[in-house]
Amino acid sequence: MTNCILCAEEGGEVVWRGDDCRVVLVQDADLPGFCRVIWNRHVGEMTQLSYGERELLMTLVFALESVIRQVMQPTKINLAALGNQVPHIHWHIIPRYEDDAFFPGSPWSARVRETASSVLRDRRQQAMELPQAIRAAIAGLS
């Protein structure tokens, strides 16, 4: 595939990179702490991965969920694997709060409120701890 956005760009701020996938922090003004685990090569469906590759990918997704829960203390974590527009399996790991702009809907639904700027500022400050915490958690998986 030519013009693949996830081949041309990282998909966010790279926090960790392995041979098969990478972890990125997405800069979303409404959803601080939003991360993705992105498979590095073109694979469109989970069943196209070997069992070992699936295990690796989901181990990273679960590790990120755990780290985000610890650091961000959200009301809920949303896990989503859509991939309708890119040929790279990728998982979204998104901390959610009852006062976020979209709650209780999905992060891609219509905005239902504005989150206070002071709350978002505090959450962005918390999210600054994620890169180090994520790298430590992944290092501990070995």
pTM for this predicted structure: 0.93
pLDDT at position 90 over 80: yes
Please, which contacts does 94-100 make with residues 24 or more away whose CB atoms are closer than 8 Å? 94/31, 94/33, 94/34, 94/35, 95/31, 95/32, 95/33, 95/34, 95/68, 95/69, 95/123, 96/31, 97/123, 100/30, 100/31
**For 11-23, what is each residue's pLDDT tens digit?**
999 999 999 999 9
pLDDT at position 77 over 90: yes
User: How many structural domains comprise the chain?
Assistant: 1
Q: Of 66, 63, 67, 68, whose CA–CA distance to 142 is shortest?
A: 63
CATH of the domain at 41: 3.30.428.10
Q: What is the model's pLDDT at position 87?
A: 85
| Residue range of the domain that includes 133 | 5-139
pLDDT at position 2 over 80: no
Q: What is the model's pLDDT at position 83?
A: 74
Q: Of 6, 127, 141, whose CA–CA distance to 62 is shortest?
A: 141
In the predicted model, what is the mean pLDDT of residues 82-108?
93
Q: What is the model's pLDDT at position 1?
A: 57
Least confident of 28-32, 86-90, 119-123: 86-90
